[in-house]
């Protein structure tokens, strides 16, 4: 049974809890995400046994990095250690799958950037692209996701506990749901030279950058039900475009777009009725060359008069 792309995590998770296995055929042949690393010293190697649950297939470690000073900012980070041959998903899973999710319950006075739908904004490193009949986006081996948190102007004595809830779908020939709940102390970050801090630093190096001002990124040929996204880098390709999950705005064909030159023209389907009450926008990642450079953008879709 294939997990449809259009299901949101909140709709997908309860339905999947009653399934013992979900078959999603795919392989991991494409770009190897540079933010994925081998196990560091001190992390035990996983056995060869086939995982029987999402928790068997993925181990999770939540931690805090930064300097815990009044009014300052730290990062709540979560490292996902994935069983060999399996993978979890980016914020847009692609043709099938479900996004990896992190939710925080912050103490009073602490804030985190939010997305339009009321969830915290997770910083995702550039994903790999998996293709085998379907196109999906995600991570193998290990990835660290993180969320910046601003601390209160006065840090109280004692702890600043934050509850970190994670959910993921992990797939190989079949898919398994997993979840984890942990509590970390915002006032007690890990050491700056620790392996966990190094993991986060590597992941942050592979976050997408803002599109350069010299690029041309625009929507053209806008109608009530469509538009064309034009991306011109001014240089040679190849380029690959991975869309964000933008309700009401989808690629007219396929789940990613490619060009061997520095120009992409991507027809879009636009439907205000499918926007889930959010403003229509187009956006995603532009991966340049072999994946060593990636840039992100979001463009509002103008309303037709």
Among 3.40.50.720, 2.60.40.1250, 3.30.230.10, 2.30.110.10, name the CATH number for the domain at 9-205: 2.60.40.1250
pLDDT at res. 132: 75
Considering only residues 213 and 118, tell me which one the structure prediction assigns the higher pLDDT. Answer: 213
Nearest CA to 36 among 80, 76, 99? 80
- Position 13 pLDDT exceeds 80: no
Widest CA span in the chain: 61
pLDDT at res. 25: 34
Nearest CA to 36 among 81, 83, 86? 81
**Domain residue spans in the chain?**
9-205, 209-300
Tokens 């007690």, located at residue:
188
pLDDT at res. 156: 83
Region 67-86 average pLDDT: 96
With beta carbons less than 8 A apart as the criterion, state whether 92 and 7 touch: no
For residue 262, with 0-12 CB atoms within 10 Å meaning exposed, 13-18 middle and 19 or more buried, which class applies?
middle
- Position 18 pLDDT exceeds 70: no
With beta carbons less than 8 A apart as the criterion, state whether 5 and 95 touch: yes
Q: Band the pLDDT of 87: cuts 50, 70, 90.
A: very high
* Euclidean distance between CA atoms 264 and 235, whole angstroms: 12
Q: What is the mean pLDDT of the chain?
A: 85
Task: Determine the straight-line distance between the first and last CA of the chain, rounded to whole angstroms.
Answer: 42
CATH placement of domain 209-300: 2.60.40.10
Does the fold of domain 209-300 match that of domain 9-205? yes
The region that residue 277 occupies, defined by phi over 0 for left and psi between -120 and 50 for alpha, beta otherwise, is left
- Position 128 pLDDT exceeds 70: yes
Is beta strand 73-82 parallel, antiparallel or unpaired with respect to 142-150? antiparallel
pLDDT at res. 104: 97
pLDDT at res. 305: 59
pLDDT at res. 172: 93
% of the chain with per-residue pLDDT over 70? 84
% of the chain with per-residue pLDDT over 90? 72
Could you count the other beta carbons within 10 Å of the beta carbon of residue 120? 18
Segment 241-256, tens digit of pLDDT: 999 999 999 999 999 9
* Among the ranges given (24-38, 68-82, 214-228), the one the predictor scored with the smallest mean pLDDT: 24-38
Say what the pTM is: 0.82
E-strand stretches of the chain: 22-23, 58-66, 73-82, 87-94, 101-105, 128-131, 135-140, 142-150, 161-171, 174-185, 209-210, 216-220, 226-232, 239-243, 249-251, 257-259, 263-270, 281-288, 293-300
User: Chain centroid to CA 275: how far?
Assistant: 20
pLDDT at res. 23: 33
* Among the ranges given (52-66, 77-91, 104-118, 164-178), the one the predictor scored with the smallest mean pLDDT: 104-118
Segment 223-238, tens digit of pLDDT: 989 999 999 998 877 9
């Amino acid at each position: 049974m294939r997990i449809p792309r259009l299901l949101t995590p909140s709709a997908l998770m309860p339905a999947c809890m009653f399934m013992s296995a979900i078959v999603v055929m795919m392989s991991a042949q494409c770009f190897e995400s540079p933010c994925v690393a081998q196990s560091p010293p001190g992390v035990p190697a996983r056995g060869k046994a086939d995982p029987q649950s999402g928790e068997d297939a993925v181990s999770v470690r939540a931690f805090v990095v930064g300097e815990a000073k009044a009014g300052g900012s730290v990062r709540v980070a979560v490292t996902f250690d994935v069983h060999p041959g399996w993978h979890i998903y980016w914020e847009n899973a692609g043709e099938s799958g479900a996004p990896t999710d992190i939710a925080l319950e912050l103490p009073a006075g602490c804030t985190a950037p939010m997305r339009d739908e009321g969830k915290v904004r997770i910083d995702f490193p550039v994903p790999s692209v998996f293709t085998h009949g379907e196109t999906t986006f995600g991570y193998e081996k290990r990835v660290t996701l993180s969320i910046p948190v601003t601390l209160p102007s006065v840090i109280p004595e004692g702890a600043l506990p934050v509850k970190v809830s994670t959910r993921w779908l992990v797939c190989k020939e079949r898919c398994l749901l997993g979840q984890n709940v942990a509590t970390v102390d915002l006032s007690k970050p890990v050491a700056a030279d620790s392996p966990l801090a190094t993991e986060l630093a590597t992941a942050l190096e592979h976050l997408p950058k803002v599109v350069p001002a010299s690029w041309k990124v625009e929507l053209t040929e806008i109608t009530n039900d469509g538009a064309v996204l034009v991306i011109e880098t001014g240089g040679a390709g190849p380029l690959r475009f991975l869309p964000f999950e933008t309700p009401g705005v989808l690629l007219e064909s396929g789940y990613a777009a490619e060009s061997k030159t520095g120009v992409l023209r991507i027809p879009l389907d636009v439907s205000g009725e499918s926007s889930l009450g959010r403003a229509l926008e187009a956006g995603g990642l532009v991966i340049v060359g072999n994946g060593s450079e990636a840039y992100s953008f979001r463009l509002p879709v103008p309303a037709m008069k």
